[in-house]
Structure 1
């Protein structure tokens, strides 16, 4: 069996596995059983004559051969879909850009950029999806998003070690901030001294993001009063006087009733970056226009602080 015998279904399944990071997640997204996904991957590996995935305890990782197949599979699947539309007599899809973004970027940066792009280039359609940094990086590699906004913390390492390396542009680099209730004693000043963070009650992320929301430089065990994944829930808890939380750079320009967002002075600087990531290949004109709008929105939000 040669690779020319590989089925389109197997290529679609492989692309989904590469994007989702696990066979289980790919099966759920496709509506298949996990065993059906495994069979398709096994058939594709037999056709390739080499393993395409490295099975690990935390999911799968592409082998060098798998990266080659993924790059080609994304092109083949997109071309087949375009051919099917043409044969069906459907109109060409409008100029569409697919954008991925991390959670807090949706509070200010993404809406502002999309509104500006719609005013200047109304013919460009943007579809978006929220995700974690690992999920968005996999989506870039799988070709299911064109651009991705990523959050980065020191020591600012690349988001993955795959090749070719992603093209990364820093849109902003700002200090982490603290959200406090408007009635809290800390809200009376224009900044918070890092020493005043001792003994505070914190609202942190839940699950694997549990440490999110607590000031990273604390030299004490934090008193975590509440945990929540959703940033709106965290800030509503802050407004209700239930505790304080850190605010990522993308969220800082937003305004929330009953909450003050303040800088922190003293101690090591806690910097955070917002990155625009893409594959190292020429951008389409619509993608370049969206990238320009995101850069402009990032500058505007920084000037508003």
Structure 2
């Protein structure tokens, strides 16, 4: 139906792209809230950590909070100008809301494990840390590019926004995700990790969906335009990686995890490129190169169950696996 007087109602019975419907159903089946997970049950584990370990956890989480705040305020919202259908916009609405849930979840972790003075201190660190602020500013500057469907420049800017979002969702978050996955593999902070695994489950869908939408637009460009966009994407991932390498050193240097986290970051940078349909570029960063304890944690099957309130990452929320190498299909 194309005729309407003033405003057109969305009709989910007429789908232009089945991926929109599939993604909507997957995301809504995964719905969760941080308040249903008993993070305070991890206090015993938290108190057993050294001060250096606590500092690493707090810095990792405030970094994640900052990036998810950016995503919840601007991420999916800035892509409305070039949506292909109202169904795609509905999916973006879902993504936008869940990014707010993610950002709030870190505050739940903070208040469950730290006192108010400690929380103020770590947020002060994150809000003024050069490497952390740099990656947020790079992504935000791209989000502010004028986009739409009227000119080639606007169309390409819209694709750049998708590239930036995929890099954030599938790459930049993962230096922070390393920490809770490591402790989960060592039987500590299980409820904190439950939240992180739920977030990873969402981000896996967000990254692949936006990567798919990018590929649709990318394939419509001329060969020269494609080459320019691809070069821009590789320049961006290199710039973000160099900054991420510095950030990793600053967060994980005191605990001696820099090399392992760097490998994990490279692995997920390659995954982000694959989401866009591009070739991997970082060598020595395969699944076999990652700390197996952390890699096992990428599986998003349930770790906890609460059969009375019926919550848990695998109970009545749908089971969604993290993306594997063979799951990536290029248009």
Instruction: Compute the TM-score of the two structures, normalised by the length of structure 1.
Output: 0.26
User: Whose radius of gyration is greater, 1 or 2?
Assistant: 1
More strand, by proportion: 1
More helix, by proportion: 2
